[in-house]
Amino acid sequence: MLTYYNHISYHTIHIISYILSHHIISHISYIISYRIIYHIMSYHITSYHTTLYIICHISYHVTSYHIKSYTYHAISYTYHIIRIMHHIISYHVLTCIVKATRNTINNCAIKHINEEC
């Protein structure tokens, strides 16, 4: 489920990716476009599944409008997607570990209090 903030982020990324995918005329603009999208996704989107959807969406847009350099974009974006996925999965796993640890500590604390009572 998208929160209001995620919804705005999704549309922002959609617009940026759509515009940039039609106007990538140099390697520099390509790197800038990647950086913008990467940072927006890394820091402003909390939904794991939404992020996966957006990554696929952007990679499709960028590769589909540049047939001449399709191979270059496909290889390059695959590399970037792997890097982004590593970041997301690491964060996702870390969050799960923190939650599990917190729950375990809370359960132990509750048990300890109940035993003392």
Alpha carbon distance 51, 37 (integer Å): 11
Percent of the chain whose pLDDT exceeds 70: 0
Q: What is the pLDDT of residue 27?
A: 55
Report pTM: 0.25
Using the predicted structure, report yes or no on whether residue 103 has a pLDDT greater than 50.
yes
Question: Domain range for residue 83?
Answer: 4-91
74 within domain boundaries: yes
**Region 34-54 average pLDDT:** 59
Is the residue at 97 inside a domain?
Answer: no
Q: Span 29-54, mean pLDDT?
A: 59
**Domain-located, residue 99:** no
**Gap between the Cα atoms of 110 and 41, Å rounded:** 38
Residue 111 lies in a domain: no
Domains in the chain, number: 1
Average pLDDT over all residues of the chain: 59
